[in-house]
Amino acid sequence: MQTLIFSIIGGLFAFVPALVANPGAVVAGGYGKIDFGKNFVDGKRILGDGKTISGYVGGILIGTVIGFIILEIMNYLNFAIKGYVPVTLLLVSLFLAWGSLTGDMIGSFIKRRINMKRGQRGNLLDMWPFVIFAFLFLWIAEPHFFFALYGNFIDIVIILVITPFLHRGVNILAYKMHRKDVPW
Ligand code: CTP
Ligand code: MG
């Protein structure tokens, strides 16, 4: 029972790279529209002004670095993970952050297709794509790590359930700090 609880909490901590990438993109964002301001075949923006190259790259870097530090500490303490070499943990962190912001971009792509404006509240479309793609990227890049931590799928369900709350909290904070125009 105790081992299970530790492994569940460990899985949550190991997901930090994906979680940090989003606020990282808010901080680093603003320069160079990923879709170059262009429209899709439906005449609507491909992604919109909210998806920038500096946000994408900067968010991935910030998520990767912060996540790597956390994973290294966990590994050092034998907390949920042990015996991983640094390069593996760096890749785990990179792919979680990369998958996270790629999923975030796909969420925006879908939002534009269904007529939702940039920054319009997308509810689960603002939250689940980044979680799903972070896990997908990790699963493809580091399957051993993925199954060691998330093989029982408990953490995946917990993360899907708690991200809407986390997301809301973080966005209210970003709004108060004038990093976002709307509190969601
Ligand atoms: N951001 C960015 N580049 C990214 C992701 C995010 O520059 N790849 C920045 C933008 O300033 C964006 C903010 O982070 O406005 C918040 O991100 P998000 O909520 O994902 O974008 P929205 O502006 O809400 O746009 P969308 O409707 O497309 O989700
Ligand atoms: Mg948004």
Tens of pLDDT, residues 152-166: 999 999 999 998 888
Nearest atom in ligand 1 to the alpha carbon of residue 101 is 8
Which whole number is the average pLDDT over 96-115?
98
What would the pLDDT profile of 9-44 be if each residue is shown by its tens digit?
999 999 999 999 999 999 999 999 999 999 999 999
How much is the pTM? 0.95
Greatest Cα pair distance, the chain, in angstroms, is 55
C-alpha distances in angstroms, 55 versus 102, 142, 181?
Answer: 11, 25, 16
Find out whether the beta carbon of 44 lies less than 6 Å from any atom of ligand 1.
no
CB count within 10 Å of CB 95 equals: 27
Residue 136, beta-bridge partner list:
none
Contact at 8 Å (CB) between 14 and 168? no
